[in-house]
Amino acid sequence: MDSAAWDTTAELAAFFDRANAHIPPEQRSVLQVLKIGEEFGEAAQALIGVTGTNPRKGVSHTCYL
């Protein structure tokens, strides 16, 4: 990644830290990891839905490229 991407990442991290300042730091870390897991699960669900690899549901999502 170039330095602009890292700068944006740092700015976003600072923004989220300020927005969640009312949450204790140790809980913030746990919640951030859980949120990443949640988003990964949604991406996996969409990929499975697009490819139709769940025999019970078949193709359940569409893909626009």
The answer to whether residue 34 is domain-embedded is yes
The answer to whether residue 27 is domain-embedded is yes
The answer to whether residue 12 is domain-embedded is no
Q: Which residues contact 50 (CB under 8 A, 6 or more apart)?
A: 59, 61, 62, 63
Q: What's the number of domains the chain is made of?
A: 1
The whole domain housing 56 covers 21-65
- Stretch 1-8: mean pLDDT: 91
The answer to whether residue 60 is domain-embedded is yes
pTM over 0.75, yes/no:
no
The answer to whether residue 6 is domain-embedded is no
Other beta carbons less than 10 A from residue 61's beta carbon: 13
The answer to whether residue 57 is domain-embedded is yes
Each residue's pLDDT tens digit, 22-62: 999 999 999 999 999 999 999 999 999 999 999 999 999 98
